[in-house]
């Protein structure tokens, strides 16, 4: 099942030359402008680059269906092809680096989830305690650490928000432990790592390290399906939000 997702998704790609090689001189903006259309076809929106003899870094916005492994493949493949076409062919290292970045830093996202209950107004202290018991913050999960693979290193952190249908306020406290368990089960079963879960009466926030083979859309929709199954009905709306974040923000590109 696929449906539109509200998103703020940005990846940076880093590539290196093969051992003993260096990259040719900076081919300038016109070269990258010619790559913009092919990348757009892949759901990748070119933003900026930094070209050095020892490494190339490219920043892009991406559509929700673009998984990190797909992104690194398309970035490297199309760049290598364009360099060969321009007579600037050079051997690339097999290793690449990807960092998902966003408008907010990791610490700010974690703090935001931590403060969700403090921002709410609850007449019933027992209900507030039930929401707090359903929340998760795992100190063992360090989102500053990358996922290592045979192809490189990936910093892939996502903030997912699910909203109840018509902003319905969940009143059944017996559902909250199932929500927590369903989230944990889905995260572990899909090769992710959950840093934090904040449960509010009409919405849920999750901050996690993603599976690099899964797209942001796949991650958000998978969690949506898991929580609706736990509820036994279409409790959460298909109006989803997913955003990227890391130790660096978009301001670092400027």
| 217-243 tens-digit pLDDT | 999 999 999 999 998 989 999 999 999
CATH number of 5-101: 3.30.70.1290
Mean per-residue pLDDT, 197-201: 94
Give the residue range(s) of CATH 3.30.70.1290 domains in the chain.
5-101, 119-142+156-248
Determine the Cα–Cα distance for residues 150 and 240; give it in Å rounded to an integer: 32
Tokens coding 208: 């996690």
Determine the Cα–Cα distance for residues 157 and 178; give it in Å rounded to an integer: 24
Q: Which CATH superfamily is domain 119-142+156-248 in?
A: Transposase IS200-like (3.30.70.1290)
Q: What is the pLDDT of residue 86?
A: 87
E strands, 75-172, are 92-101, 136-137, 147-149, 152-155, 157-163
pTM: 0.93
What mean pLDDT value characterizes the chain? 92
pLDDT digits (tens, 9 = 90+) for 69-107: 999 999 999 999 999 988 888 889 999 999 999 999 999
114-128 CB burial, b ≥16 within 10 A, e <16: eebbeeeeeeeeebe
Determine the Cα–Cα distance for residues 58 and 44; give it in Å rounded to an integer: 11
């Amino acid at each position: 099942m696929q449906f539109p997702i509200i998103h703020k998704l940005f990846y940076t790609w880093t590539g290196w030359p093969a051992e003993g090689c260096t990259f040719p001189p900076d081919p300038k903006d016109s070269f990258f402008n010619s790559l913009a259309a092919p990348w757009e076809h892949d759901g990748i929106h070119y933003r900026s680059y930094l070209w050095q003899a020892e490494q190339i870094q490219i920043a892009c916005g991406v559509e929700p269906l673009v998984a990190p492994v797909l992104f690194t493949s398309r970035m490297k493949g199309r760049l290598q092809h364009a360099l060969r076409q321009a007579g600037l062919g050079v051997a690339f290292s097999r290793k690449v680096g990807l960092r998902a970045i966003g408008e907010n830093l990791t610490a700010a996202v974690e703090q935001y989830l931590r403060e969700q209950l403090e921002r709410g107004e609850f007449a019933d202290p027992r209900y507030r305690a039930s929401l707090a018991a359903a929340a998760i913050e795992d100190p063992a999960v360090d989102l500053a650490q990358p996922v290592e693979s045979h192809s490189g290193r990936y910093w892939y952190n996502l903030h997912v928000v699910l909203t109840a249908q018509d902003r319905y306020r969940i009143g059944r406290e017996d559902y909250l432990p199932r929500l927590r368990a369903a989230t944990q089960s889905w995260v572990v079963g899909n090769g992710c790592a959950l840093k934090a879960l904040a449960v509010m009466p009409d919405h849920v926030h999750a901050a996690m390290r993603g599976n690099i083979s899964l797209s942001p859309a796949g991650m958000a929709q998978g969690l949506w399906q898991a929580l609706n199954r736990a509820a036994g009905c279409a409790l959460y709306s298909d109006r989803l939000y997913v955003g990227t974040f890391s130790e660096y923000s978009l301001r670092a590109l400027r």
